[in-house]
Structure 1
């Protein structure tokens, strides 16, 4: 546990801005941040998170920007306010803002059909293809399930991801309910070239990052090569938090590809709290900001929401933002999660108050714990140890997962054998949307290969089911079952928890 000794004896943090006292505020800064540092450090130890950065904005000023812990477990380089993290799905609100600029310029309307800008774009239902609008893309009401394995660590380009989404079947009726959908946000960003002749990457850099002075912010992991102050992602592997590869999700683009630091993100928050204005310059019109922050799709509160946040009466999705009430205020926020990274951006417009949390570990609710600690303190809510409450829930879920895994092991029919010789399971398998997977016999053992990173040996589990343990341990392990046809030959491979692939060769 060397990193926690490091936290205890050598917690290195970087304070960017001096203490400001805001006249007329409910709290001075000293009161606002009283006990926060100790709370963050203890919570980081409890959640086993190596590094975290936080920036806070109030009344159009960045009043706090600081790093905690280290960029990489086992090393001493500190997280600073300039340390770069993946901001993941908090990218979505930036994409909505870019489209809002085109709305301001009269080049696009929220209720224009998507096919006006992407005439080749097609979904499985011709009616939805025809009726789908820009608004639908931005508020998660397409009716589609997620289909994230289409882009997640795949070798498909953005255009190919969008071409293949025509094979994704609807999970519920069009516009009938909220259903989170990354690929629709990718489509939203890919409309920009048809209007501006600029890629989404160039447009967001020129029209958003540059005017806001977000000099360390980019849209590709390739831009991080050679940079020093970059956080390393961490994930829990075999119960131990470990450094993992930096995820390359450039192909999901406008849905989650931005990398940034809290110092830059604070400028993005200032613009949003300022109604589209930044340092006296209009980035977005007030009308566009209002529309982006207006409820578009209802999100039903689950029972856990109601227990944890009894003052929360409703939730909805705007354009790239989740909206809810909390302690009598409108809360605008969004989370981001990619392999080994978590993010949360929060706005409380009535208070001219907002903040961003970036961290280098996943499978954690530390970001939510710190966020509600700050919000409660600022709004005068009851004192709660959010970290302990959410950690208890997380540990209970982990115990359930272990019980399910044990049950699966106990139910394994160990004395069975495969129906066929191993070479009979080899070959090429295809799915119309997800593409090609290959099973090969290597050194007397089956190996599954799917895209560059999904590679692993397969060992017999029972009957015609095999367990694959992925070489990249962040993927864990999966069960793969084979189906035989009437002629006794393999016709299908079923990847538990994912999909079915038909054998073609």
Structure 2
């Protein structure tokens, strides 16, 4: 997402919707919330959604809306399973906090004390990076760097982590926030070294079982015999939702593997906002909950965003929790995104209130609903956050359209590739990702990313040595380009891939001719 444009439109829309911050009595009107959720689902054309609100030590509201899969009759309810994606990270941090309390670990221990084979691009960072650094995203890597290593590849978790040493940092060590799935997965890899069990077994035995999260799962493979499951969808502009398959997270499980429902996730939020105590049992120590909910890495609060949210003054990251203030209260929250699914969790510990939103398409509605519940509880029930974020989406979609039109307009027509197609074929590769193969199929070039069974793209000539690429099995990713670099002998010696999207950076992959 082009954040600078997003913040500009937020600032613009401030003047359209100003005057909506009049204070009223605290509390949530659940009948009104129910109507708002149903209306918002329809406005966003989301197939299905489940929402729960927690207050104190109980679930105050839990309900499903819409359908589990487009074109089928099954309805979403409060027990329907969704991928919660990055909301998994708080489980990993909590597991490590228990090991800290047991004296087996310190947050500021060096990672190489437990994983001596772990390396970063810079030798100094390798020797200094701590468990805390892994969980609060301050390694120097840019956001989502290296995520193509685990995305639908046959690499194991350890192999993904080992390849992190080839990721060039964008920032100085501990100098900037940069969200890293791979490094949270690395933190989770420490758990079996100290606990004598897999990450999966630890999460089941230490959290799912004592909290009664009986429906929650830790792998897509566990969905096989489940019936009440929401299916992810890709929703293209002007088209019906397209059901797609679940993302496989096994090789980055501690970062995003949990599959759950709003009833189970509500229990997790109740634990978090009650200082680690659930139904009288202390599962997490209050001291460690405080640590996880405390600022570790500052993240800039853009002026455009701050202008629209005058009640917000800071934005930071704790240990696998995002933190900000809003109208005098501290908000602890996290989002989760997978192919065809978006989730949001949020608690206000001092008010003992929280919300979990699970949806089966990619959209901004979970964020909108977080603010709606905050405002309703804090006395501003007239804010229509769904409508606001719909305007943001429309603006962003229009920017994307303009970018595509600009690219088309700048294309130089009637050019031809310098070489015959067969001379582009071969195997290209690099240390970071591994190999890709270019071959001819039905008269056109095909690019096959060999570590993945999913990333296969058909190439069509665009201009000079640049070809358009459309991935066959990844409807959530747009068209991109593949550009061949010729050496002084006129032979293709390298290819560069650019598929612009907010999640996976194809430009950091290096593919030089091997054969």
What TM-score comes out, normalization by structure 2 length? 0.91
Give the conservation status (yes or no) of the 8 Å contact 2:415–2:463: yes
Question: Does the Cα contact within 8 Å between 2:448 and 2:456 map onto a contact in 1?
Answer: yes
CA distances 1:184-204 after superposition (whole Å, capped 9, x unpaired): 100000000110121111111
1:124-167 deviation digits (Å, cap 9, x = unpaired): 11110111001101111001122211112222110000010000
Match of 1:23 in 2: none
Partner of 2:6: none
Q: Secondary structure at the match of 2:289?
A: helix
Q: Distance in 2 between matches of 1:303 and 1:160?
A: 40
How far apart, in 1, do the equivalents of 2:293 and 2:333 lie?
Answer: 10
Runs of 4+ aligned residues of structure 1 deviating over 4 Å after TM superposition are none
SS at match of 2:272: helix
1:115 partnered with 2:119? no
Q: Is the 8 A contact 1:297 1:317 kept in 2?
A: yes
C-alpha separation between the residues in 1 aligned to 2:409 and 2:394? 22
Counterparts of 1:79 and 1:50, CA distance in 2? 9
Instruction: Determine if contact 2:30/2:61 at 8 Å carries over to the other structure.
Output: no
Quote the residue 1:268 is aligned against.
268
- Pair 1:458 & 2:459 matched: yes
Q: CA deviation at 1:474?
A: 2.5
Q: Secondary structure at the match of 1:254?
A: helix
Q: What's 1:348 paired with?
A: 348
User: Is 2:214 the partner of 1:215?
Assistant: yes
How far, CA to CA, are the matches of 1:334 and 1:187 in structure 2?
19
1:81 aligns with 2:78: yes
Whole-Å separation in 1 of the counterparts to 2:489 and 2:340:
46
Instruction: Tell me the residue number matched to 1:445.
Output: 444
TM-score (norm. length: structure 1) = 0.92
Does 1:128 find its partner at 2:125? Answer: yes
More divergent stretch after superposition (332-341 vs 372-381): 372-381
Residue 78 of structure 1: how far off its partner (Å): 0.7
Tell me if structure 1 keeps the 8 A contact 2:78–2:263: yes
Secondary structure of the 1:307 match is: helix
Distance 2:219 2:367 in 1: 26
5 Å-filtered alignment, 1:399-418, equals 399-418=398-417
Instruction: Summarize deviations over 1:96-117 as a string: whole Å, max 9, x none.
Output: 0000010111111101000111
Q: Aligned pairs, how many? A: 477
Alignment partners' CA distance in 1, 2:210 and 2:434:
41
Encode CA deviations 1:291-318: one digit per residue, 9 max, x unaligned. 0111111011113321331110001100
Q: Which has the higher contact order (CA 8 A, sep 6+)?
A: 2
2:15 match: none
Per the alignment, residue 471 of structure 1 pairs with: 472
Residues in 1 aligned to 2:462 and 2:103: alpha-carbon distance in whole angstroms: 60
Q: How much has 1:245 moved relative to structure 2? A: 1.4
> Corresponding residue for 2:14?
none
| Superposed CA offset, 1:48-96 (max 9, x none) | 1011101111110111111011101121101011100000111111110
- 1:40-59 to 2 correspondences below 5 Å: 40-59=37-56
Confirm whether residue 385 of structure 1 aligns to residue 384 of structure 2: yes
2:26–2:379 contact (8 Å) kept in structure 1: no
1:488 aligns with 2:490: yes
Q: Is the 8 A contact 2:482 2:495 kept in 1?
A: yes
Q: Does 1:503 align with 2:508?
A: no
Structure 1 residue 34, shift from structure 2 partner: 3.5
CA contact (8 A) 2:67 2:76 kept: yes
Counterpart Cα distance in 1 of 2:168 and 2:29? 49
Over the aligned positions, Cα root-mean-square deviation in angstroms equals 1.3
Residue 361 of structure 1 is matched in structure 2 by 361
Matched, 1:206 2:208: no
SS of residue matched to 2:456: strand
Residue pair 1:275, 1:284 contacting (<8 A) in 2 also: yes
The 5-angstrom pairing of residues 7-406 of structure 1 reads 32-145=29-142, 146-237=145-236, 239-240=238-239, 241-362=241-362, 364-381=363-380, 383-406=382-405
Q: Could you tell me how far apart the structure 1 residues matched to 2:271 and 2:256 are? A: 20
Alpha-carbon distance between aligned partners in 1 of 2:122 and 2:465, rounded to the nearest angstrom: 35
Structure 2, gaps ≥5 residues long: 1-24, 500-505
Structure 1: distance between partners of 2:136 and 2:340: 26
